[in-house]
Structure 1
Amino acid sequence: MREALLAELLKVRRSLMPWLTAGTFTFVAAVCAIFMFILADPARARALGLLGDKAQLSGAAADWPGYLALLAQATGVGGLIIFGTVVTWLFGREFSDRTAKDLLALPTSRGAVVAAKFAVAAGWAVLLALWTAVLGLLAGIPLDLPGASSAVVAGGVARIVVTALLTLVLTTPFALAASAGRGYLPAVGAMFAAMFSAQVIAALGYGAFFPYSVPGLYAGIAGPGHDPPGPLGHLLVLAVGVAGVAATTIWWKRADHDR
């Protein structure tokens, strides 16, 4: 496991992917701060026209609880794309770079290889969530929003991280799609299908029972007055994550016969 983990970390260090994902979440934090900047002054929002209308449609309140909730919602929505891309890249690159056959021939356990990839994805997601939270806090200080307290900030940061983890768990089936499909495209197709389904099912009112809608609902994307997903929704997320890891591990262990 140690050798597999070091190898995956070396691949990440020599890639541009960490910088691209960090830049994407930097943009996400900046957009959330701009929304709060507009919402804090309705007159300014009206003067900005369409941009002000878009900010009003976000449903966020111009205070620290609303700001942190908006960051969590952005993490849930953008996280499925970014974390899904990370998982797809970690597994799919072995086929695009034609190194999968080399991994299968190594004395290192294939289960360890898969576990190392998922461990790197998990650490990557947590760091991106913390990066978004830190940038959001720094950007929020000059906005002088009301409602700041240590409890509010701690709760908001915790919601961002938990939303990121829930979203990450749902990306494990994309690893299977990238592995069984031997490349990026099948996983990208699965990712967009999951995103589309999450939006439609949530709009129909059944999001609490559909795993891919749960992170956004937990983050409060449905707005005030809507209950967060219950234990069943979180259990479904966990079930998807466990099934994705198990199926991916089984596929890699049987990859010699999958021709």
Structure 2
Amino acid sequence: MSAAALAAALRIEGLRLRRSPVAVLAAVLLTALVPSASVGAVALARSPHAAAPTAAKLAPYAAGDLAATHLTVCAQVLGVAALVAGGFVVASVFGRELETGTAGALFALATPRAAIALARCVVVVLWLAACVVLTVLLTVAVSAVVATGGGSGASGAWREAGRAVVSGLLGVGLALPFGAVATVTRSRLATVGALLGVVALTQVVVLLGGGAWFPYAAPSLWAGLGGPAAAAAVGVPHLLLSATVGPAAVVVVVAAWHRLTDV
């Protein structure tokens, strides 16, 4: 794989991703829904008019510095949202030619298929990582507007903002294995089904107490989604295990596309 071939593939795949309705929709949903949900959940938790079941569920957000709490919720939501949005994007990027039967055109290109696969992984990661960072910045901005007095715990808020970025980036990496699923199944629908299956399996693993060592559960638990005790149980080794999933998936996807056939 030459540098020139990879550079050409990056240019083409970057252009295709920017024009992808799925990628654009995923970006819009991440940057709009996550900040809204983060601020809205805290507002509801602190509202005297919240229904009792809702108030009980949102009780952890009912106290503490307002800006920091907004970013805490953002971290918890973003890890899952980045995984789901990323899974849909990856399914579309790697599954479209294989599902529609147009993958044979790839064999007529001078650019090796392995270079195309690597370029697709790179542009997807860059696109979703930019969405994650923008989502956190928008949450900070919205929080600054609605927080009384601008928010008092600046250091705590930025610490939680950093946690949100890390949680979101880990979610992006965890979406990459679905590129291998799309390659093997040659179906975007099957890939989305596998994504939803992993999300459901994650819930089961967490309920059984194995979430810390399950890569798809560790980021959200670390962000506090399972409560303070579950967050304290997640350490650097668990997060590193989650972080290795993305690079390992890239190796598998590139190898699979290197051996790809048009039948």
- How much does 1:56 deviate? 4.2
Asked if the contact 1:211–1:236 (Cα under 8 Å) also holds between the matched residues in 2, the reply is yes
TM-score (norm 2): 0.87
Q: 2:131 aligns with which of 128, 132, 137?
A: 128
Corresponding position: 1:11 with 2:16: yes
- Residue 234 of structure 1 corresponds to 239
Worse-superposed segment, 221-230 or 1-10: 221-230
Asked if the contact 1:61–1:67 (Cα under 8 Å) also holds between the matched residues in 2, the reply is no
Where in structure 2 are the equivalents of 1:42-61 lying within 5 Å? 43-45=48-50, 49=51, 53-54=53-54, 56-58=56-58, 59-61=60-62
- Alignment gaps of 5+ in structure 1: none
**What is the one-letter code of the residue matched to 2:57?**
L
In 2: Cα distance, 1:151 partner to 1:103 partner: 50
In 2: Cα distance, 1:143 partner to 1:27 partner: 16
**What is the one-letter code of the residue matched to 1:2?**
A
Counterparts in 2 of 1:54 and 1:93: CA distance versus 1, 3 Å = farther
In 1: Cα distance, 2:177 partner to 2:23 partner: 21
- How much does 1:97 deviate? 4.3
- Residue 204 of structure 2 corresponds to 200
In 1: Cα distance, 2:247 partner to 2:124 partner: 15
C-alpha distance after superposition, 1:172-193 (max 9, x if no partner) = 2200010111120221122112
**What is the one-letter code of the residue matched to 1:60?**
Y
- Residue 3 of structure 2 corresponds to none
Asked if the contact 1:79–1:168 (Cα under 8 Å) also holds between the matched residues in 2, the reply is yes
Asked if the contact 2:178–2:191 (Cα under 8 Å) also holds between the matched residues in 1, the reply is yes
Percent sequence identity over aligned pairs: 32
- Residue 78 of structure 1 corresponds to 81
**What is the one-letter code of the residue matched to 1:100?**
A
- Residue 26 of structure 2 corresponds to 21
- Residue 33 of structure 1 corresponds to 39
- How much does 1:228 deviate? 4.6
Counterparts in 2 of 1:193 and 1:177: CA distance versus 1, 3 Å = same
- Residue 115 of structure 1 corresponds to 118
**What is the one-letter code of the residue matched to 1:180?**
V
- Residue 141 of structure 1 corresponds to 144
In 1: Cα distance, 2:73 partner to 2:82 partner: 13
In 2: Cα distance, 1:148 partner to 1:105 partner: 60
SS where residue 44 of structure 1 aligns?
A: coil
In 2: Cα distance, 1:81 partner to 1:125 partner: 11
- How much does 1:40 deviate? 3.0
- Residue 93 of structure 2 corresponds to 90
- How much does 1:156 deviate? 2.1
Counterparts in 2 of 1:180 and 1:36: CA distance versus 1, 3 Å = same
Asked if the contact 1:172–1:241 (Cα under 8 Å) also holds between the matched residues in 2, the reply is yes
Corresponding position: 1:175 with 2:179: yes
In 2: Cα distance, 1:79 partner to 1:175 partner: 15
Asked if the contact 2:129–2:172 (Cα under 8 Å) also holds between the matched residues in 1, the reply is no
In 2: Cα distance, 1:165 partner to 1:7 partner: 24
- How much does 1:223 deviate? 1.6
Asked if the contact 1:220–1:228 (Cα under 8 Å) also holds between the matched residues in 2, the reply is no
SS where residue 49 of structure 2 aligns?
A: helix
Aligned length: 252
**What is the one-letter code of the residue matched to 2:54?**
K
- How much does 1:55 deviate? 5.4
Corresponding position: 1:162 with 2:170: no
Asked if the contact 2:176–2:246 (Cα under 8 Å) also holds between the matched residues in 1, the reply is yes
SS where residue 142 of structure 2 aligns?
A: helix
In 2: Cα distance, 1:56 partner to 1:71 partner: 19
